[in-house]
Each structure stands twice: as C-alpha cells, then as structure tokens.
Amino acid sequence: MNSALTYIKYKDIDLVKWDKLVDSSDNALIFCFSWYMNAFCSWDAIILGDYDGAIALPKKRKLGVKTLFQPNFIQKCIWFGKNLTADEETVVWGFIRNNFHRVNFNCNIRLAKTSSDRVNQILPLTDYDSIRSGYSKSLTKNINKHASSLLVKERLSVKDTIDLYEAAYGDLNKQLTLVSYNALGKLSVSHPESFLNIHIVYESKIIGSLLFAVGKNRLHYILGAPTAEGRSKNALSIAIDYVIHKFSQQEMTLDFEGSSIPSVKRFYASFGAKEELFFEYAYISKTLRPLYILYSKLLRS
C-alpha cells in the first residue's frame, strides 16, 4: 500500500476520491469538500497514499509571489483522514515551505514550532435543558425578556443576511470583499441543504439575521448581525438559542468559529461554549524576507 505523502496540483486531484474521503472522515469539516473550497479559492493539496488523508492548500499569486492563505468564510485548513505521525507532519511543513513564498493560514494540527495558538469555541448540542442550564444568568435574562415578542424564521434570503452584516460590521471586516459575499450567496443557492439561514422578525421587520454552514455534524456560525433595534432586543441571542434547541440531541456541535475580540468571546462563552485549539502559521521565505523588511520600513516612514 502506498503511504507516501505527495504534493498534488489541483488539476491532478481526483475530486471523486477527495470528496469520498471528506465524507468518510470523522475529523473533516464541511469546508474540506471540493465544492466548498472551489467557491472561495484556487487550491492544491497534500495527499497521503491513495487518498488516505489530505489537506487542501488555498493559493494565490501576486507579482510572482505564491501565497498560502486563509480564504474568507473558511476558518482553517483541516488535515483529515488518517492521522499523521510527527515525522509526516514535518514532511507536510516541508512541502508547504518548498511550494510557497509566503504563508498565512490556519490549521488544526501543529506542523511547525513557529505556529501561534488560536482558540475556537464550540458547544456540543446534547440535551437542550442541560445546555440551557449552563447559560449565564444575564444571557438567560436577556432571552426571556424579549423571546415572546420576536419571531424566528428559516430559509429566507441570504442576501438580506449579508446586507445586514455589511451594514453592521463591514467597516470592521474590510477583508470580506464583494467577491467573497457573492460567492457565499451563490454557494447557499447551489447547496441549500448545507446552509441554515435565520431571520429574527419584530413587527414584520427583520432586526437580526444569521447564517450557518451545516455539515459533518457541525453548525458553523458563518456570519450574523442585528440592527440597532435587534441589538436592544438581543435578537442574536434568541436566534442562537433557537438553533441550539432545534439541533439538540442530534449529535451535532455548534461551532462559533471563535473570536479574538474579548466581548465576542464572552458572548459565545455565555452559552457554555468550550475552547478548541487550532494553530496559525505565518512564514516568509528567506529570499523574500529582505523585501518585506524594506517594505515595512517604507510604510512606517
């Protein structure tokens, strides 16, 4: 049996075998499917043996610089399938360094000592009453205060969700481009079974909206935002509570996708979310390093 690791260009990847591996791997995420990756980036891959394990490597090239990057709406690149040994992890990192001038991506495994720890927040959706008893007192109070006056609706326009998010947080997330938003919207139309879109309605007005990617036993919180009125009525809290109730006891995990913003992290933790570690990588090849140092100095001058 072939157990070698191989760097494979996208054009040479057997996508049928690839998606079959994603589908059969307990440690894969919905982001790993070829149709999801294709919506947001070009990519190559490192594959173990005859599709026994793999990782997708999103790539872009500008001015001759080949970069491994983290695309919008894909939190991290997952090694999935058969677990790697420590020596094999070293080989994977070697492939990455040999094929990219610049690296700025997230991964579920530690490939190099240069990685930085990042924290994701997840909530296993067990028994609803047990989960609800773990909510913070302030969260429970806020939900109880407004839940009876708000209506939660599913499968409405994703465009409305994106527009609401742009209005609320667009200036804080300038990396989310129109191209990325359009790709997300098109993907939700072509794969409606893989998305859950929720609107929170008050007196016939949408005052909050959230979008989740659904697959591989996880609900990924892709984006969400309230209006000013929705914020005052805790619309997002009520919507998340709805999702928790809907999917409880279905062997699902709510993946909040983490946050480095303290207030957002506290909000997710108020639902009882637990921390899940992943790793961030930043690397510049030796040949490019002097140019980046010079470029940084010019920006500061």
- pLDDT tens by residue, 74-97: 999 999 999 999 999 999 999 999
- pLDDT tens by residue, 145-198: 999 999 999 977 899 999 999 998 888 888 899 999 999 999 999 999 999 999
C-alpha triplet 177, 236, 188: angle, nearest 5°: 45
CA 5 to each of CA 19, 99, 110, 149, 236: distance values in angstroms, whole numbers, following the listed order: 18, 14, 17, 56, 44
pLDDT of residue 291: 62
Q: How many CA atoms lie within 13 A of 102 on its CB side?
A: 17
Which two tokens mark 293? 């140092």
pLDDT of residue 290: 61
Q: How far apart are CA 193 and CA 214, in angstroms?
A: 8
DSSP state string for 53-99: EEEEEEEEEETTEEEEE--TT---B--EESPPPHHHHHHHHHHHHHH
- pLDDT tens by residue, 31-66: 999 999 999 999 999 999 999 999 999 999 988 899
Averaged pLDDT score across all residues of the chain: 92
Q: What is the pTM of this model?
A: 0.91
Q: CA nearest 142: which of 221, 203, 231, 227?
A: 231
In the predicted structure, residue 296 carries a pLDDT above the cut 70: no
Band (pLDDT 50/70/90 cuts) for residue 2 is low
pLDDT of residue 1: 45
Q: Which domains does the chain have, with CATH numbers?
A: 5-113 (3.40.630), 120-277 (3.40.630.30)
Which two tokens mark 247? 């999917």
Kindly give the pairing relationship between strand 80-81 and strand 65-69: unpaired
Q: CA nearest 44: which of 55, 53, 52?
A: 55
In the predicted structure, residue 3 carries a pLDDT above the cut 80: no
Choose the weakest-confidence range: 19-28, 35-44, 78-87, 290-299.
290-299
Mean pLDDT of the 104-119 span: 92
- Kindly state the helix (H) or strand (E) to which residue 172 belongs, with its residue range: none
